[in-house]
Each structure stands twice: as C-alpha cells, then as structure tokens.
Amino acid sequence: MKIEQIYTGCLAQGAYYITSEGEAAIIDPLREVQPYIERAERDGVKIKYIFETHFHADFVSGHIDLAKKTGAPIVYGPTAQPEFGALIAKDGQEFKIGKITIKVLHTPGHTMESSCYLLKDENGNDHSLFSGDTLFLGDVGRPDLAQKAASMTQEELAGMLYDSLYTKILPLSDTITVYPAHGAGSACGKNMMKETVDSLGNQKKMNYALNQPNKQAFIEAVTDGLLPPPAYFPLNVAMNKKGYTSFDTVLNNGMKALSVNEFEAAAETTEAIMLDTRSASEFSKGFIPRSVNIGIGGDFAPWVGSLIRDVKLPILLITEPGKEEETVTRLSRVGFDNVLGHLKGSFNEWKESGKEIDSVNRISAEQFASEINPKKDTVIDVRKESEYRAEHVDEAYNKPLDQINSWFAEMDTSQPFYLHCAGGYRSMIAASILKARGIHNFKEVDGGFNAIAKTNVSKTDFVCQSKLQK
C-alpha cells in the first residue's frame, strides 16, 4: 500500500493517490489529469476508482476528464446528485483497491453530500481518514456554503456537522492519520494549520471544534467570524456538479498566440479582460492600459476567482514568456475556461510596436516615510482587516482588496493618496484595477507594510473603528 498526498500550494488543496497490488484510487483530483494517468502508467497500476468528497466550491475537480480517460467510475457519498454518470455510494459501503478497503462515511454539514473515506489496511485495521472538507487540521469545514441548496441556515448545517464529527469521526482510533482536502490559506475554513497531515489523536486534543462542551457551543464556535465566501464559489460548485469543457480543449484555446494587432482587436471586440500575470515589479514599469495585474507568483487562482468572479468572462493573457501553459492551467483549476489566447512576445512585443502603455507610480518605503503626513495625507491599506488590526500606519484607511468592487466607487478621486498591502502583491492588483477604472492619482508602496515597518514612519496597534472600511 502506498499513499501520496499531492498538495497544490496556491489552492491549499490536497489530492490523494493511493495504490495497492496493481490498483489505484484518486481522491479529489486536480483539473489537469494527465499527471495522474502518467504516474499510474509508470507504477504499472490501473486507476480503479475516483473518489470525490463533495461538490467542491473553491476549485474545479478533474473527476470528469479522469473518468473519461481511464474508465474509472466517479464515487460520491449519499445524497449527491451529479448531472453525469457516477456511483452514489451508501453510507458504510466499502470499495476494494488491491488488498486495502475504502469505507464511505457520510458526514453532511459542510455540504449535504460531504463524505469522508476511511482506509482499512491489508489486515482490515483502520489506517487513515481522507476527511475532505469535513475535518481540517485545526478546523472544520465552514457550514455556510450549502445554505441555499439545502434550504437550511448555517446554524442548522453546523449542527449537522457536529453530529457527523461526533458520531462518525471522533469514535475512531487516535492512531489514524488524517488527510484533509485543504490547508492554511483556503477559504473553506478559518483556522487551519500550516501542516497538511496529522494524527486524529492530536486533532482531538488541539482542534477547537472538537473540544466544545456541547452542540450549541460547537455551532457558535464554528459560525463565529465567518467571512463571506468568494463570489466564484457557487460557479465552481455548478461546474463540479453539472460538468465542464474538457481541460484539453481549454488548454488548446489558451495556448493560441495572438499578434499585437490580433490581441488588440480581440480586446476591443470581445470585451475580454486583459489579465497580466507578470510580477508586480515588472507590471509597474509598463503595461497595456486597462489590463489587470494578478501575478502568477502569488495566490493567483484564488485572487482571480475573488476579483473577476464570473468564470464565463473571456480572458486575454499577458504572461512572462514560457508561462502561458501554467497560467491557463491554473485558471482552469478555478473554472476560468474562456481564455481566448495570449499575447505573442508578451508585453515587450506590445511596447516595441509603439502602442500606448501605462505604468504605476511605485515608490519605496523610504520615500513614503519621508513624504507622508498622517494628519493630512490619505493612506489606503488593502490588507485583511485582521492584518490591519494587528498594526497599521497611523490614520490609514483599511479597504481590503477582496472588497474593491464595492469601495472603489466611493473614492474621492480629486485627492491624491498612497496605496499599500503587506508586501506589494495585493496593492499592485488594486493599483491595476483602480487605473483600469480611471483612477490614477496615487502612489503605490513597494514592499508594503513589511517595508514600511522598518522605516521611522508613525505606526499604531490601536484600531480606530472609523478607519476600518471607511
């Protein structure tokens, strides 16, 4: 028996590859499935089952493509109603992979069909738990994503999650290894550990959700402080439930190289979003007017989903040379399949053609510190509220990046301002969005608050409530 966690950092997502005696199972595969197929071929094993823990909201699974290419059935837990062929298992149903067994544990609460998979070794002993979004390390799955579909409140779903955890999971042995679907950074939970594997015994000791005195306390604990889920989540659920365009087709479309004139024509006739995935430093020096910068080097896919939102919108790419395939792949993981192509020769080709370009007025933290007058100048901090609460520039306004579609319309564009985040990645995204919408009267701080904190600029750890979200 072999278990391999295939962890994708930008999605904070764990897929699993399990083999025994010439047979394999894949749990929650990523959108691009060829690596699983090639791995199985190298190992000389046949993919027998594709297990899905639930209809994912934060990414599009590769289950459909993988099933078509391998002939392996897709397995869901009870109550799942996908709009494609799948094996809907009963609670407690067992599946053999070589000499091991995978048992279905229906654990509704995160979603109604959510299920965990308990692996029994060759001797029939409980070995490990693939817990999906039911149980994370340090947390449990948020209970607010399925409210509308289930016609239930988040409190009712949290109560259902409590029953699932306390009757199906907690009675299991402390020695069992827990393999969750997500880790720290995922929007599917709020308090996840940076580790991606742990023993159930340790989780019983330190996971706050598993240490509540009663059901009501559990409900209050897991629903407290939940932020609204990203807008693209329901669209990903729909794709996972209804089906989607083959990844091969999506990649083929996105790899179409467009000349400068073709790219410009497509931008003008299709109303496509021009997405520039170069680094913040490169983007600041020069970019195509009205293009949006979300760098491939950061939490790329989640930010695309949170800010562009509509997965059906057409996209034109400007990437670093050689990054085209990676970019299309990572977009597809969160359902953004409508990539029309990419700019051949990247931004340099556009610049050398003599076309109009724009830039961001990016300054150093030292320049910011020498110029800023906290009592007079406006500073916009696009970090999360929790980051702002910890420490911030005196008199700065907190306007989180994920809410930019709401707050930018209320800005006073007649007055100049400064813009920063923690390190420069998010503030450059914000800068590009603001400039695309005609707001240019600002300076963006290179290095963000991390660099500002090393200067002599006035900072405070006291939160003036009027500055939050103002």
Mean pLDDT, consecutive 10-residue segments, the chain of 470 residues?
93 96 98 96 98 96 98 98 97 98 98 97 97 97 86 94 98 98 90 94 97 97 90 94 96 97 95 96 97 94 90 96 96 96 97 97 96 90 94 94 89 90 98 95 97 88 50
Closest CA to 311 of 240, 402, 408, 403: 240
Determine the pLDDT at residue 409: 84
Contacts with 409 (C-beta within 8 Å, 6 or more apart), sequence order = none
Domains of the chain (ranges; CATH) run 2-234 (3.60.15.10), 245-352 (3.40.250.10), 362-467 (3.40.250.10)
Neighbours of 200 (CB within 10 A): 23
Neighbours of 201 (CB within 10 A): 14
Strand segments (E) across 21-114: 23-27, 46-51, 74-76, 87-88, 94-97, 100-106
Distances (CA, A) of 40 to 97, 121, 180, 386, 405: 14, 20, 22, 44, 44
Determine the pLDDT at residue 289: 97
Closest CA to 417 of 470, 339, 461: 470
Determine the pLDDT at residue 56: 96
Count of positions (residues) in the chain: 470
Closest CA to 27 of 115, 88, 127: 115
Strand segments (E) across 382-447: 392-393, 397-398, 417-420, 442-445
| Alpha carbon distance 412, 429 (integer Å) | 19
Give kind and range of the element (H or E) at residue 14. strand 13-20
Contacts with 49 (C-beta within 8 Å, 6 or more apart), sequence order = 25, 26, 72, 73, 75, 95, 97, 102
Pairing status of strand 177-180 against strand 198-199: antiparallel
Determine the pLDDT at residue 469: 52
Distances (CA, A) of 57 to 179, 189, 224, 230, 309: 19, 12, 20, 9, 13
Determine the pLDDT at residue 328: 97
Determine the pLDDT at residue 466: 42
Amino acid in the structure at residue 196:
T
Determine the pLDDT at residue 354: 96
Residue matched to tokens 């970090």: 383
Determine the pLDDT at residue 461: 64
Determine the pLDDT at residue 464: 46
Determine the pLDDT at residue 468: 54
Between the two ends of the chain, the Cα-to-Cα distance in Å is 56
